[in-house]
Every structure is written in structure tokens, then in C-alpha cells.
Amino acid sequence: MNYSHDFLQKMYINLLKARMLEEKIVELYHQGRVPGSVHSGVGEEATFVGGCLALGKNDYMMTTHRAVCANWIKGIEINKIFCDLFGKREGTNHGKGAAIRICSKEVLGMSGTQGGVFVIATGAALSLKLLNKKNVVLAFFGDDTSNRGTFHESLNLASLWKLPVIFLCDNNQYGISINMTKSTAVANIADRASAYNITAKIVDGNSILEVYETTKEAIDYALSGNGPYLIEAKTYRCRGHMEGDQCSYRTREEENHWLKKCPIKRFENELLEKGIITNSWIDMEKKKIVKVIEEAIGFAENNEDPYEEDLFKDIYA
């Protein structure tokens, strides 16, 4: 596909935003400023950003516990994201869910319960179909989560009812400390799609262009009434399952091998070689992002803690 320089620059800026946000969250966590747990998405940004950029404003997106950055790219205000991270009142979950339960109209929410994403995304796609809306749901999920029953039940119904849902697996090869080869009976998550008559494609999850183009293809496919689509993006979780994990279950060689495949550096080099961006432009864009992030942190730090009477608001029972 041919892209304008403006669009490629926009993609790169979004990759930078994702990386800088993920790194900032890690830093704040280790300073004791983020309560709860942090599951960093460093290394997987091309998958999250490529998928989100393919979506329209009224398409839905859903993530797991890992992709805080995807929420920013999809359109949630950064001030709100930091309020969530700090457990403040003006966060999307009003101080009730910290880092892994960001939730708003643009995104259906992060699912900290492994497998929740499939049922919620499939249900949302059913409502889009019943309401005759020309939109899709993009559901990110981890490789290990495809071992849960909800994956199989949801894919079956989504296929049977031809629902406009795209299941995008960020296959980072690990479920906590277990390599996929020890937990999962198939070599590729995409292999599971044929059991439900679902079209699937494997992409390089560290290539933003591959993820973006395939997600666009999947959206066209779903909007033409063909039903769901599964994308498996092969990538790597550069940090531990959660902050504090020493990663004693894998080798430093393996980590270094993947560090060299950094999705941001890779796209940066491609654009630099083509003269689409320059080093001084990169510095300028980084400074702008630092400012936005620092201002959002300031906003959140000065935000109120939830009130006692907020405790039972926005919950079902």
C-alpha cells in the first residue's frame, strides 16, 4: 500500500507515544506511585498501535490486562488514563480499578479476568449487528488466554452468527512464566480458527504496517457481512509478566534477540532511510510527548481521591 508521509509520521508518533507511556508507567510503578500491579506492553507496541489505528472513531476496542497504551491510541484522554493509574476520581473507572480496568465509550474495557474479553467483544458485536451499525469490535487477547473455554464458545457463536468482531492475538509467547510450547497444543493460535470456520492470518507483530494492513483487511471483511476474523501477531513481551518478575524462566539470549527486533527502532530506521523523518524531528516529537505525559501526571496527582459514597456507584449489585 502507498501511504502519505503525513500518515507514516502519524504512525511513528503513535508508536512513540505507546512506548513512552508504557515506559513511564513502569518508572512510576517502581517509585511506588502506581498502586496494584503493572503488566507492561513494552515490545508489543506495533501490534497494539497498528490494530488501533485501523479502527474508526465509532468502532469498539477491548484489551486485556497488558495494553494500557492501546487505550490512549484509541482515544481515551491521557489525563483520565493517569487518573486511573493513580486511583483518582476522574479516571474512567473513578478510582475503582487502577491500571487494568480502564473503561470508556471508546473502549469496552480492559479485562483483567482472563477470557472475559471474548464474551464481551462478541456480545458487543452482536449488538452492532442487531442495531444495523456499520462498525466492528477489535478484541486484543493473549496467546495463553486462547486456552480458556470462553475463547472457543465465543468464536463458535461469532462465526455462526457472522458477527463483526476481529480477534487480534498479541502472541508474546508467554502466559506468566510458561512458554506457549508448554501450555498450548497448537503451534499457532491462528490454527484454532479453522475449527470455527473463521478466516485467520499470521502477521509479524513487530511490524506496524503488517498489523495495520491486516486489521484493515479484517475490518473490510467483517463489514461486508462475512463475520469474524482472527489475526495472530507474533511478538514478544520484553518485560516480565508483571513488574517485579525476574524472568528466571527464560534466557537473557532470548531477550536480547527480541530486543534487537524493537518495533519502534525498526519503523524509525525505515522512515529515516526513506527521508520521511529526521533525527531532529524525532527529538522534537519526543519532547512534545514528554510534555503531554508530564502534564497528565500533574493533573492526576492533583485529582481527588474517590469519596466514600462513590464506592457503590457504577456497579451492578
Ligand X SMILES: Cc1ncc(C[n+]2csc(CCOP(=O)(O)OP(=O)(O)O)c2C)c(N)n1
Kindly list the residues in this chain that would bind ligand X in the complex (CB under 6 A). 64-66, 112-115, 142-145, 172, 174-176, 237, 241
Three cell numbers, residue 151? 475463547
Three cell numbers, residue 125? 458485536
From the list 34, 94, 78, the residue with the least C-alpha distance to 294 is: 78
Phi and psi angles of residue 41, each rounded to the nearest 5 degrees, phi first: -100, 15
Shortest CB 290 distance to ligand X, Å: 27
Shortest CB 42 distance to ligand X, Å: 12
Shortest CB 111 distance to ligand X, Å: 9
Nearer to ligand X, 42 or 137 (CB): 42
Residue number with the smallest Cβ distance to ligand X: 142
Spatial contact of 231 and 200, defined as CB atoms under 8 Å apart:
yes
Three cell numbers, residue 212? 495495520
Nearer to ligand X, 48 or 212 (CB): 48
Nearer to ligand X, 80 or 241 (CB): 241
Shortest CB 180 distance to ligand X, Å: 8
Spatial contact of 165 and 121, defined as CB atoms under 8 Å apart:
yes
187-216: b (≥16 Cβ within 10 Å) or e = ebbbebbeebebbbbbbbbbbbbbbbbbbe
Nearer to ligand X, 112 or 123 (CB): 112
- For the residues of 92-152, what is the DSSP string, one character each? TTTTSSGGG----SSEEEE--STTHHHHHHHHHHHHHHHTT----EEEEEETGGGGSHHHH
Three cell numbers, residue 214? 491486516
Shortest CB 114 distance to ligand X, Å: 3
Shortest CB 152 distance to ligand X, Å: 14
Instruction: List all residues 6 or more positions away from 311 whose beta carbon is below 8 Å from its beta carbon.
Output: none
CA pair distance 228, 221, nearest whole angstrom: 8
Shortest CB 160 distance to ligand X, Å: 24
